[in-house]
């Protein structure tokens, strides 16, 4: 089998890239380890920056997003009983975010790929890149028990944090930076009306809570938990009771509860691998970096990587210009580190850290009070939350 660009991983990064390349007349084959049903069933992010929305439009996959996505001009931060609305739109000259679930984004992108007869090989096992330091790399994999080979010009690792692509880069050619947080998020999806029309990030002495949403009758709530927490230990009753405790009373009073449709624990981690290129292998999205979800940046960073990488590949194929490929890693990392900083800052502001009792708690409160009183601080938050320019 032969193609121009071999893509490992069929998450948002791989899907967006293969679609944008296809529309520019560049062929690709995407190898995904899981079944289509599994990939479409994953519940993950839900807040899209303008840049992500624009890429969906360019990919010709924005129809449902335009219809069902909810535009949010503000976001709320609560500290115990105090609540502050950050006027994203007013503070950033009209910029907003859109609430539209990653599950729906993935569904739309698969539909767009199928409509163009894009080649996606699901349940591709033992995917392995080879020859990355030469001009003719290739991928080997097993499909339905048979060994296969895919020859290509470039290999793009879009296979998430636990994928294979980053692991084939020699240790002396890759530098990793990591912070693992001493807690995770316990998430519940419920078919209930959201408690608030905009997101509420809440910091309470018992820990962090987030009221998010996926639609008018679909809510997503999170509670800070132990990193190794077993979601089965949380009955629906226990979850709702704890959430009510950790929200300001006027919000808790409005909370509509119902059976959990999904309950899962996500660990929190900051991670960056540098550089994002080795020979003919390029990393994009979670394969190269992870942020804690507090700033809603994971999915959005995948989109900015794909923006840079798709333009670079198009320049290479259309004009023989390698400047974009050569500068891809540095360009992407410049934006990634700013999002890493913001996500780390939001996490530090809003969570309960075991080592923070006393001094650290007072600093958190002072940070929140400063945010309440300073338009400059609110503007900085707003500017980062809606997404820094590409």
Radius of gyration of the chain (CA): 21
Is 248 one of the annotated active-site residues of the chain?
A: no
Say whether residue 109 binds ligand FAD (CB under 6 A): no
In angstroms, give the least distance from the CB of 14 to ligand FAD: 6
- The window from 155-163, 237-245, 273-281, 312-320 that contacts ligand FAD (CB under 6 A) reads 155-163
H or E element in which residue 239 lies: helix 236-246
- The window from 30-38, 54-62, 71-79, 325-333 that contacts ligand FAD (CB under 6 A) reads 30-38
Say whether residue 49 binds ligand FAD (CB under 6 A): no
Binding test (CB under 6 A) with ligand FAD, winner from 3, 13, 224, 304: 13
68: left (phi over 0), alpha (psi -120 to 50) or beta: alpha
Is 38 one of the annotated active-site residues of the chain?
A: no
Neighbour tally for 61: CB within 10 Å: 22
- Buried residues in 132-160 as b, exposed as e (16+ CB within 10 A): beeeebbbebeeeeeebebebbbbbbbbb
Is 308 one of the annotated active-site residues of the chain?
A: no
- Cα separation, 26 vs 16, in Å, equals 13
Q: Which of 293, 308, 328, 351 is catalytic?
A: 293
In angstroms, give the least distance from the CB of 124 to ligand FAD: 6
Is 385 one of the annotated active-site residues of the chain?
A: yes
Say whether residue 283 binds ligand FAD (CB under 6 A): no
Select 212 or 257, whichever has its Cβ closest to ligand FAD: 212
- The window from 83-91, 158-166, 232-240, 315-323 that contacts ligand FAD (CB under 6 A) reads 158-166
Q: Is there a contact between 124 and 33 (Cβ–Cβ < 8 Å)?
A: yes
- Cα separation, 324 vs 172, in Å, equals 24
Question: What three-state secondary structure class fits 223?
Answer: strand
In angstroms, give the least distance from the CB of 208 to ligand FAD: 13
In angstroms, give the least distance from the CB of 8 to ligand FAD: 5
Say whether residue 142 binds ligand FAD (CB under 6 A): no
In angstroms, give the least distance from the CB of 204 to ligand FAD: 19
Select 8 or 21, whichever has its Cβ closest to ligand FAD: 8
- Buried residues in 243-274 as b, exposed as e (16+ CB within 10 A): bbebbbeebbeebebeebeebebbbbebbbbb
- The window from 67-75, 109-117, 152-160, 331-339 that contacts ligand FAD (CB under 6 A) reads 152-160
Phi, psi angles (nearest 5°) of residue 14: -65, -40
Is 110 one of the annotated active-site residues of the chain?
A: no
Q: Which of 22, 204, 289, 297 is catalytic?
A: 297
- Cα separation, 3 vs 29, in Å, equals 6
Select 139 or 371, whichever has its Cβ closest to ligand FAD: 139
Nearest to 173 by CA among 363, 340, 329, 388: 329
Say whether residue 11 binds ligand FAD (CB under 6 A): yes
**Which residues ranging from 297 to 326 are in contact with ligand FAD (CB under 6 A)?**
297-299, 302
Binding test (CB under 6 A) with ligand FAD, winner from 45, 156, 195, 336: 45
Residue 25 is encoded by which pair of tokens? 């007349």
Interface mask (CB under 6 A) for ligand FAD, residues 119-138, using x and -? Answer: -----x--x-----------
Q: Is there a contact between 46 and 73 (Cβ–Cβ < 8 Å)?
A: no
29: left (phi over 0), alpha (psi -120 to 50) or beta: beta
Say whether residue 12 binds ligand FAD (CB under 6 A): yes
- The window from 174-182, 296-304, 308-316, 346-354 that contacts ligand FAD (CB under 6 A) reads 296-304
Nearest to 106 by CA among 51, 64, 70: 64
- Cα separation, 199 vs 213, in Å, equals 7
How big is the site for ligand FAD, counted in residues (CB under 6 A)? Answer: 31
Burial of 365 (0-12, 13-18, 19+ CB in 10 A): middle
- The window from 159-167, 176-184, 321-329, 334-342 that contacts ligand FAD (CB under 6 A) reads 159-167
Q: Which of 72, 289, 307, 351 is catalytic?
A: 72
| Contacting positions for ligand FAD (CB under 6 A) | 8-14, 31-34, 39, 44-45, 102, 124, 127, 158-160, 163-164, 266, 285-286, 293, 296-299, 302
Catalytic residues: 72, 201, 293, 297, 385
């Amino acid at each position: 089998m032969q193609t121009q660009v071999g893509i490992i991983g069929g998450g948002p990064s791989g899907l967006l890239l293969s679609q944008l390349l296809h529309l520019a007349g560049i062929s690709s084959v995407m190898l995904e380890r899981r079944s289509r049903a599994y990939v479409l069933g994953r519940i993950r992010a839900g807040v899209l920056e303008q840049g992500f929305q624009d890429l969906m439009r360019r990919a010709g996959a924005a129809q449902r997003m335009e219809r069902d996505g909810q535009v949010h001009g503000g976001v709320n931060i609560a500290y115990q009983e105090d609540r502050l609305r950050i006027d994203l739109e007013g503070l950033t000259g009209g910029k907003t975010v859109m609430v539209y679930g990653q599950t729906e984004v993935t569904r739309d992108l698969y539909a767009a790929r199928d409509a163009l007869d894009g080649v996606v090989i699901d349940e591709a096992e033992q995917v392995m890149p080879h020859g990355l330091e030469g001009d003719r790399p290739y991928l080997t994999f097993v499909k339905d028990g048979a060994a296969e080979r895919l020859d290509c010009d470039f290999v793009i690792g879009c296979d998430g944090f636990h994928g294979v692509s980053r692991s084939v880069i020699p240790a002396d050619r890759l530098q990793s930076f990591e912070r693992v947080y001493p807690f995770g998020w316990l998430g519940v999806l419920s078919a209930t009306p959201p408690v608030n029309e905009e997101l509420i990030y809440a910091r309470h002495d018992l820990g962090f809570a987030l009221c998010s949403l996926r639609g008018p009758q679909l809510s997503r709530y999170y509670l800070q938990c132990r990193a190794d927490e077993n979601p089965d230990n949380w009955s629906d009753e226990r979850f709702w009771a704890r959430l009510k405790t950790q929200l300001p009373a006027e919000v808790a009073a409005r909370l509509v509860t119902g059976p959990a449709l999904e309950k899962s624990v996500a660990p929190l981690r900051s991670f960056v691998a540098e550089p994002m290129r080795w020979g003919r292998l390029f990393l994009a999205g979670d394969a190269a970096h992870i942020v804690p979800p507090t700033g809603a940046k994971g999915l959005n960073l995948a989109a900015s990587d794909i923006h840079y990488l798709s333009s670079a590949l198009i320049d290479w194929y259309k004009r023989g210009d390698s400047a974009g490929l050569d500068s891809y890693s540095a360009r992407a990392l410049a934006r990634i580190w700013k999002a890493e900083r913001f996500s780390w800052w939001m996490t530090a502001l809003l969570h309960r850290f075991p080592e923070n009792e006393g001094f650290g708690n007072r600093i958190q409160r002072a940070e929140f009070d400063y945010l309440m009183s300073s338009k400059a601080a609110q503007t900085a938050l707003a500017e980062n939350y809606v997404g820094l320019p590409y």
